[in-house]
Amino acid sequence: MHPPRKGEPVFEEPWQGRAFALAILSSRVASGGVNPDAFRHALERLDRAAYLDDGYFGRWINAATLMLTESAVLAPSAIDARALRAEPRAAVGGGRGRIR
């Protein structure tokens, strides 16, 4: 690893930056402020598939989703409906729709 070079992107892919922003925002909304301990606790409570199968940033999105649904900011049905709508785009974009 090297220190970031001038003009080098912070994240390899744009969706990774969005996942990072979602993690910070979900912590802030669900906990009343940025709370790294609450976010870490959400990560630790993910089921095996949500933790291991979706990769590093997918894990962040899963934890953000958990925090937002547990705090009743989002309904689980709204998450499911959005994921279903995103699936066709995943095939076109070459990635997984639920983490883009």
22-77 pLDDT, tens digit per residue, is 999 998 999 888 889 999 999 999 999 889 998 999 999 999 999 999 999 888 88
Q: Tens digits of per-residue pLDDT, 74-84?
A: 888 887 787 77
Token pair belonging to 44: 């630790």
Report the pLDDT value the prediction gives residue 17, as an integer from 0 to 100: 92
d(CA 62, CA 46): 7
Report the pLDDT value the prediction gives residue 41, as an integer from 0 to 100: 95
Residues whose CB is less than 8 angstroms from the CB of residue 34 and which lie 6 or more positions away in sequence, other chains included: 24, 27, 28
pLDDT at position 93 over 60: no
User: Over the Cα atoms of the chain, what is R_g?
Assistant: 14
Token pair belonging to 5: 């070079």
Token pair belonging to 71: 């705090």
CB 63 within 8 A of CB 42: yes
Note the pTM of the prediction, 2 decimals.
0.73
